[in-house]
Structure 1
Amino acid sequence: MCGMNDFPTGEAMVLTPLVRRVLAPNPSPYTYSGTQTYIVGHGSVVVIDPGPDDQHHIDAILRATAGEEIAYISCTHTHRDHSPATRPLKEATAARIVGCAPLVLDDSGPRADEAFDRAYAPDHVLGDGESVSGPRWTLQAVATPGHTSNHLCLALLEEKALFTGDHVMAWSTSVVSPPDGDMAAYMASLELLMGRDDVIYYPAHGDPIERPQRFARGLLGHRKQREGQILRLVGRGTGEIPVMVSHMYKGLDPRLTGAAGRSVLAHLIDLRDRGVVREHQDSWELIET
């Protein structure tokens, strides 16, 4: 399997007989090398996560599918590094936009990653288990809320492959940013993936993930370790989120401090809903039992 450094932006790389990948030119602390757009099938294809509204990237997708029909454009969720290219791509091809539901929400705190795409307008929202198909391929929606409430993974049934969007990534854990990001839902979605028989994950950012159930189990364990760290800090009287971040994320890139704080908040909200902690002014404390 080829790694991220083996191909540049704008060029289609063949991953399997049914899957091609085109990297968008939008690297950042939150997108790694950029958004990976996947093309599934041949002749009549589906484009997954077309990415930002960047003309160079849209042209690259059109070059990669020259002589073919783009029948569908499908999005895992509606952050602006994933879905804005649906509109110019649809105008160029008359493809149907299918996939996640539209979602517009303003965060209650500083953005930890890309904001929502307010103009996303699907022709059809795929429900959990619903599918679209083409010659020798079937793409099935798997509801995986957590990173966002509208997040879907997309399963390529013929290859037992799962396009995981931002739910599972090899290079980083997913940002879970309240109020829409939900840690309890994210953990439940990881549990769901552990029970599936996928043989490979294709994330929107970072390398493909082999032995995917083991990887998902590791992510779940990591989140539980973070929860344990939070409980120990709160138990010692360290209940302010910025202080917790400084204790928990040693050597963190300062540009990612906001994302870390949002994930800590997501854990605290989950713990609050389970009756373990409560918020008091600008701090958090354990609930005595």
Structure 2
Amino acid sequence: MANLPQQLIEHPLTHHLIVDIGPGIRRLVATNQGPMTGPGTNTYIIGTEQLAVIDPGPLDAAHVQTLMGAGNICWVVVTHTHPDHSPNAKALADVTGAQLLGMPGPDDGHQDESFAPDVVLVDGYQLTTAEFTLQAVHTPGHVANHFCFWHERSGFMFTGDHVMQGATVVIVPPSGDMKDYIASVEKLAQFPIVALAPGHGHLMAKAQEYLAALVAHRLAREAKIMSAMENIPQPLTLAELTPLAYDDVDGSLHAIAAYSLWAHLIKLEKEGRAVQHKEKHWLFDQAHWQLAESVVKFDTKA
């Protein structure tokens, strides 16, 4: 939802057409375009002899057929198990005999339950071939089982939904976690990234500047949430707090923004800076939130 400065490296985002985007790196865009997916999910093809495919997208036989024309697919790698990224992984692995790599998703009702990896990824795992190495970088936040993949030879970081072109990522608790998300963005900033290769949209240059701006944006939103809570000291529901904390966002997006607001509030609660006055429950929108007493007293003294 944020309009952060971005320097794009543009190649055609064309359906049914595999496009070269870097040495030994190609991209095929899935046909699931929409408000939350942009042009569609980016499927990346790494290598020329033995191929690794990242995020084959939603179940789509035509997408599988196009990918099979790319060459000898030996590995299918999944950033996370949301239904716009992983359902095609099993189908592609079944027809190619490729090894399936990723982490099973949390049981939150929003995951691809068909996903069963041959290799369960851990942070730092390396898929090493004669041509390239892909390093798995665990980046929880958008969802707990999210991984990015570092391709040192090109300097590309494949970011799935951790970093997207054109929009900030919605964080949906309980599988999403704002505290983890910010820490994971800062983790990516430790790599000498030439370009971010997101799950949706164009490649993004000036990665360090963008990642710093992304963290600053999240923390600025957090400060705005706290300011709104300070100005109205009685406990507020998400419905009451969202238009105050997101008054710079179109009202049609407030229902989506409420999820990220919830994630911010959980982060503040973990840090002892906010409290909720209702037993935790899946009806998250009925919880009432306010600043912790210690924070109010500190601000008053200041």
User: What TM-score, normalized to structure 2?
Assistant: 0.87
The residue correspondences of 1:55-66 to structure 2 (distance < 5 A) are 55-63=61-69, 65=70
The one of 178, 182, 189 equivalent to 2:177 is 182
Superposed CA deviations along residues 109-157 of structure 1, whole A, max 9, x for unmatched, are xxxxxx2101101000121111112231111101111111111000112
Distance in 2 (CA, whole Å) between partners of 1:262 and 1:251 is 14
Q: Which residue of 2 aligns with 1:94?
A: 97
Q: Which residue of 1 aligns with 2:266?
A: 269
Q: Which residue of 1 aligns with 2:5?
A: none
Distance in 2 (CA, whole Å) between partners of 1:234 and 1:56 is 50
Deviation at 1:209, TM superposition (A): 1.0
Q: Which residue of 2 aligns with 1:194?
A: 189
Q: Which moved more, 1:231-240 or 1:119-128?
A: 231-240
Give, as a single letter, the amino acid of the residue that structure 2 aligns with 1:46.
A
Deviation at 1:92, TM superposition (A): 1.2
Q: Which residue of 1 aligns with 2:126?
A: 131
The one of 25, 29, 32 equivalent to 2:35 is 29
2:9, 2:204 within 8 Å by CA — same for their partners in 1? no
Distance in 2 (CA, whole Å) between partners of 1:192 and 1:251 is 28
Give, as a single letter, the amino acid of the residue that structure 2 aligns with 1:78.
T
Q: Which residue of 1 aligns with 2:26?
A: 20
Matched, 1:257 2:254: yes
- Bigger-Rg structure (1/2): 2
Aligned residues: 276
Distance in 1 (CA, whole Å) between partners of 2:249 and 2:262 is 20
Distance in 1 (CA, whole Å) between partners of 2:72 and 2:114 is 24
The one of 273, 280, 289 equivalent to 1:284 is 289
Q: Which residue of 2 aligns with 1:3?
A: 10
User: What TM-score, normalized to structure 1?
Assistant: 0.91
Distance change (3 Å), C-alpha of 1:104 and 1:193: closer
The one of 126, 134, 154 equivalent to 2:149 is 154
Deviation at 1:245, TM superposition (A): 2.2
Distance in 1 (CA, whole Å) between partners of 2:193 and 2:124 is 15
2:243, 2:251 within 8 Å by CA — same for their partners in 1? no
Superposed CA deviations along residues 66-103 of structure 1, whole A, max 9, x for unmatched, are xx2101000000001011001110111000001x3101
- List gaps (5 residues or longer) in structure 2: 1-7, 279-286, 295-302
Superposed CA deviations along residues 9-58 of structure 1, whole A, max 9, x for unmatched, are 11101001111000000012211111000000001100000100012222
2:273, 2:291 within 8 Å by CA — same for their partners in 1? yes
Distance in 2 (CA, whole Å) between partners of 1:163 and 1:7 is 16
Deviation at 1:249, TM superposition (A): 4.5
Distance change (3 Å), C-alpha of 1:249 and 1:20: farther
Runs of 4+ in 1 over 6 A off after TM superposition: none
Q: Which residue of 2 aligns with 1:85?
A: 88
Q: Which residue of 2 aligns with 1:111?
A: none
Helix, strand or coil at the partner of 1:278:
strand
Distance in 1 (CA, whole Å) between partners of 2:103 and 2:288 is 35
Deviation at 1:251, TM superposition (A): 4.8
Matched, 1:220 2:215: yes
